[in-house]
Every structure is written in structure tokens, then in C-alpha cells.
Structure 1
């Protein structure tokens, strides 16, 4: 089985779906991660040599994290925290090209109601690129939560994260944590939701809700059955 994970920034793939991707890889599935932005340039006024070095370093960390998960990874250069300045068709065509290259039957992406606009537009681009046309390989599209983004959105019925599917990651939680440790610069101290402690506790709480030691929750955005 081919699996595609499309995210806005380096570390989103681990926070949101790292345990699930590791589980896919462990059972022999081909797993590929698409990262649309560098996650760095919004913090700076211009791209200096130092900023470029930071971008390269974070991409290096993303490669290391994905290697731990058992996934390959590709990078794109959409403007960090400025996806709303880019025509949606550009995002969509980028995702379409990745779908053509990897022919996934399952796609994971951000929850469409996240506070982070890059996440929201990534989800929309994936849903557009993954529309159920004749010949598409995609059979299921899942939306995942991203701690410190999903739960901080303005509460509205239209953007609530109400998971309908859960993956047991009891055996892959440690792999997820090892991959997350690569992103030390992005981690915060407890009780911040993007801390190692909170990430583990969140997985354990979702697991307890569905009878596992740890789980990752998803919204099934689309399923096409033969």
C-alpha cells in the first residue's frame, strides 16, 4: 500500500500522524511525506545566509525524523505562514504532482478547521487534488489534529475536530517520540501542548477513549469503495 502525508511545515508530520506513519512503514507500506513550506522564513524579514542555513538545518531534521518513522520526504518552497498569498491552484497542482508520483491509496493531511491558516489551506488543496475522479488511486483521505493549532481555533460547529477513526499507536508511540526529539527547537516546556509530555499524554488520552494504550485520532474526510 502507498501512503501519502501532506503537511504545511516540518514537524507537523510527527505531531499529527507520526505514530500512524511508523505503523504503516513497519508493516511494509510505502510512506512518503510532503512538506510544503520551510517553517522558518515567517520569523525573519529576509532570507539571509543565516536564515538559509536555518532552513537547510530544519530540512535536515525533517529528513532525520522521517527516516526514523520509515518514510521518504520531499520539500516545497511555499511562503511560511503566508499560504493565503498563493493561488490555491498552485498548492493544488503541487499536491496533484505528488499524488501522480506516489499513487497513494491513503492520504493524511491537516484538519481543515485549524487555527493555522497554512494548515487549513493545505487541507483544502489536498481535498481538491484528491477529488474522486476516474483513475485516481486515492481511496481514503484523513484529517488529523495538530497540537497547538487544532485545539486553539475559534470554536465553531463548522471547524470542530470530531474524530471518526482511530489508530492504535501503542507499539509506535516511542518511535513517534524519537522522531519528535529531532525537532527539539520546536518543542516547548509543559504544560504547552507541543511538549514531549503533552504529546504523549494526548496519545494516551485518545487511546483510553477507544480501548488502547495510545492512539491517534482522525476525521475521515472522504472514502471511495470499490
Structure 2
């Protein structure tokens, strides 16, 4: 699908990301295309991002959070999506609540609902509901709860991050999901997406939190996956 023709239909868009870097990896090209077309874009960061390098002693958890939030804001600036200050839910990385009975879930869902209403969002971008990372799945649940409380919920598009490398058969879409997958061409903004990914220096070798050698860094194989001239999304099948 041509990116320029697709974005003209999306209107005001809010992207919801579990961790800093998911916005660039999963849908950075679409965000750049939206801004190039003059569509409003705002972002929500769900977790504090501190657990990519939990054993760092040089960088305390608050210091790691500060680095990652700064990288997130830099990425949004590169993509042109920094006109509106992002909503930072600041939930614990690796422990984002996933159900209404979990502490913090409904408060976060309500904050998200209010933000979507304030932005008059026509589209919300969210991780694929069974993307194989617990925070990604929890983020999808938070968005679902927020939309359930809206009189006129935005159209939901689901992007892929971890399913490329880690998906089991049961993680993939089924007929019961009632979604269709499609690709959006992002070649015109591919270089901008790569710069946004590179803004997350703490997640790219050699990294920033170098006193935690077992911490997370994006692998060369994963980075190659997100260098393709397209992005993949799932959307509800229109009946």
C-alpha cells in the first residue's frame, strides 16, 4: 500500500508504545509519513524503560529512565512527532499491569482515554495484541480498556515489534481476531526512520549503560528487519 495515500485517511493519530524505541521500530515510518502529510501526531510512553540494563550501578534507575526518555523525545523530534508533549505513564518496565484488577491498570487506562479524547484521535497505533513481550501485550490491554470507555473510539492499528523474531504459532493472527494484515510503503522516509532508531543510543552497541554487559542491545538481525522499506500493520476487518 502506498504510504502517502494511506496516511491521508488516518487523521489525528496517537501512538502508544511500551518502551522507548518501539515507536521508531514498529511504526517510525508511518509516523514520519503522517507528519509529512500534515496530520497531527502525539505519543504515549507506557513504561519507564529502566529494565533494559537492570544491573547498571553507574546509572541508577532514575538515571536510566532519564536517558531513555530523552532518547524517546529525540526520536519523536526526528520523526516530526514532537509538536505535542508525550504522555508518560511511567509504569514499571517489565511489569506493566495487564488486567483491570492489577494495581495501576485502570488509572493508566483512564489517563490514556483522556489523552485520546484531548487529542481528538481518529487513529491509535498500538502493539499487536499478542506481540511476544509481556509489556507489549499489557499495553494492548490498556489501550483496549481506554477505548472501551470512549463514546467514539479511534480506529485501531496494531504494529509488530517482537513477533518478527519470537512469535509462536499461537501468537499469530487467527480468524477469531477478525483482523487483516497489510504493508505500508515507507521508502520515502526510510532514512528518517533509521535516524530515529539510532537516537536510542542506549539500545545500540556499544550502548550507554556499559557497566551492565548482560543488558539488552538491539541485535544486527533485528535492526535489519526494521530496515525494510515497508511496515506491517493489522486492522479490524470491516464487515
TM-score normalised to the size of structure 2?
Answer: 0.76
What is the match of residue 143 of structure 2? 126
TM-superposed deviation, 1:176: 0.4
Aligned length: 205
Query: Within 1, Cα distance between the matches of 2:236 and 2:140?
Result: 10
What is the match of residue 67 of structure 1? 77
* Kept in 2: contact 1:163–1:217 (CA 8 A): no
> Could you say what the CA RMSD is over the residues aligned between the two structures, in angstroms?
2.7
* Kept in 1: contact 2:113–2:150 (CA 8 A): no
The one of 154, 157, 168 equivalent to 2:168 is 154
The one of 29, 34, 38 equivalent to 1:19 is 29
TM-superposed deviation, 1:45: 7.3
The one of 96, 119, 123 equivalent to 2:113 is 96
Structure 2 CA distance for partners of 1:191 and 1:125, relative to 1, 3 Å: same
Query: Within 1, Cα distance between the matches of 2:52 and 2:62?
Result: 12
Q: Does 1:198 align with 2:225?
A: yes
Gaps of 5+ in 1: 204-213
| 3-state SS, counterpart of residue 165 of structure 1 | strand
What is the match of residue 43 of structure 2? 33
| 3-state SS, counterpart of residue 187 of structure 2 | coil
Q: Which deviations, in whole Å up to 9, do the C-alpha atoms of 1:35-86 show, x marking residues without a partner?
A: 0112114743799973312211111111111011011323121111101454
Structure 2 CA distance for partners of 1:122 and 1:35, relative to 1, 3 Å: same
The one of 55, 58, 63 equivalent to 2:65 is 55
| 3-state SS, counterpart of residue 115 of structure 1 | coil
* Kept in 2: contact 1:36–1:76 (CA 8 A): yes
* Kept in 2: contact 1:190–1:198 (CA 8 A): no
| 3-state SS, counterpart of residue 122 of structure 1 | helix
Q: Which deviations, in whole Å up to 9, do the C-alpha atoms of 1:113-148 show, x marking residues without a partner?
A: 1111110011122122223853x251x1010001x4
The one of 1, 5, 25 equivalent to 2:15 is 5
Query: Within 2, Cα distance between the matches of 1:48 and 1:80?
Result: 19
Query: Within 2, Cα distance between the matches of 1:76 and 1:150?
Result: 26
Query: Within 2, Cα distance between the matches of 1:221 and 1:132?
Result: 19
